[in-house]
Amino acid sequence: MKMKDTNNIALEIHDLTVSYDRKPVLWDVDLSLPKGKLVGIVGPNGAGKSTLIKSVMGLAPNSSGYVRLFDRNLEQVRQSISYVPQRESVDWDFPASVLDVVLMGRYGKLGLFKRPRKSDKEVAMDSLRKVGMEAYAKRQISQLSGGQQQRVFLARALAQQAELYFMDEPFAGVDAATEKIIISLLREMTEKGSTVVVVHHDLQSVTEYFDWVILLNMRLVACGPTEEVFTSELLQETYGGKLTLLSEVGNMMKHKHFPNREVSKATNTGSS
C-alpha cells in the first residue's frame, strides 16, 4: 500500500461529525488540504461551513473523528494557526485602538505577560500599511466602518505571520475596493507558502479567487482543485437544486464567462 505524503498536507480531517443538542451539523467529513493553497469552503446556508473551521480550531465540540494540522494536534501548532471569525460575532464596542487590535496578532509570539517590543509594533504597522489602514492606527475600532473593521481583522491575521489561516466570510459586507485588497493579500500569503481557508458565499467569484474548493452540505460533497470540483453537477448536488442561480452559473461556466460582482448585484437587486 502506498504511504500518504504528510509533508505536503496542511490540514487533514478524518470521519469528523459535529453535533449541537444531539443534532448533527456536520456528518462524517473526510478531507485533506495541501499546503500553499487558497481554499474556498462553499455551500448553502446551514451547511456547516463555519462549524467546520470552528471545529478545526477547537471551538466546536467534535462528536467523533479527528483533525490534524501539519500532521500534528492543534495544541502543538496553535501559534502557527490564525482564525478570523465573522465580523458580526465580535464586540466592536470593546475599548481598543486599531493598533492594539493588530498587536493582538503578536501575542502568540510574545508569550504570557510580555509587552510588545519595537519589532512587534513594526510588524503591526506594516500589516496596517498592507491593508491601507496605517492612518487609522490610533482610532478606536468602534469608530470604523464595517469594511475598515474587516481590514483591521485581516491586518491582525497578517501580524500573526501564521502558516495556516481560517477566515469566516472575510468578504461579507465589504466594498469592492476592500474585497480587491483582501483577495490580493490572500494570494500574496499563499505565494509565500501559507495556506488560507476561506468560508465563501459568492459563487460567481469562486473560479476567479480560489485554486482549491471544498463543497459542503452537512456532508462533504467534494474537495479538490477548483477546475475539477466546481462543476454544475457537483454544485447541483451541494445545493440540492434550491439555488435559482445554479442554472445561470452553469451556463456561465460553459461559456467560461463570469461577470463581475457589481454587474451581477445590479441585475439581482431585490433578491435575497
Bridge partners of residue 220, in order along the sequence: 216
Work out the pLDDT band at 20, boundaries 50, 70, 90.
confident
For residue 84, the one-letter residue type is V
Judge whether residue 261 has pLDDT over 50: no
pLDDT, tens digit (0-9, with 9 covering 90-100), for 80-98: 999 998 877 777 778 889 9
Instruction: Give the CA diameter of the chain.
Output: 58
pLDDT, tens digit (0-9, with 9 covering 90-100), for 228-237: 999 999 999 9
Whole-number pLDDT of residue 172: 87
pLDDT, tens digit (0-9, with 9 covering 90-100), for 109-146: 776 657 888 899 999 999 999 999 999 999 999 999 88
Report the distance separating Cα 164 and Cα 257, nearest Å: 31
For residue 14, the one-letter residue type is H
Whole-number pLDDT of residue 228: 96
Report the distance separating Cα 89 and Cα 68, nearest Å: 26
Judge whether residue 49 has pLDDT over 80: yes
Radius of gyration, CA atoms only, the chain = 19
Q: What is the mean pLDDT of the chain?
A: 86
Closest by alpha carbon to 105, among 163, 162, 182, 184?
Answer: 162
The total number of residues shown for the chain amounts to: 272
Domains of the chain: 6-267 (3.40.50.300)
DSSP string, the chain: -PPP-GGGEEEEEEEEEEEETTEEEEEEEEEEEETT-EEEEE--TTSSHHHHHHHHTT-S-EEEEEEEETTB-HHHHGGGEEEE--GGGS-TTS--BHHHHHHGGGHHHH-TTPPP-HHHHHHHHHHHHHTT-GGGTTSBGGGS-HHHHHHHHHHHHHHHT-SEEEEE-TTTT--HHHHHHHHHHHHHHHHTT-EEEEE---GGGHHHH-SEEEEEESEEEEEEEHHHH--HHHHHHHHTT--THHHHHHHHHHTT----HHHHHHHTTT--
Judge whether residue 13 has pLDDT over 80: yes
Question: What's the predicted TM-score (pTM) here?
Answer: 0.84
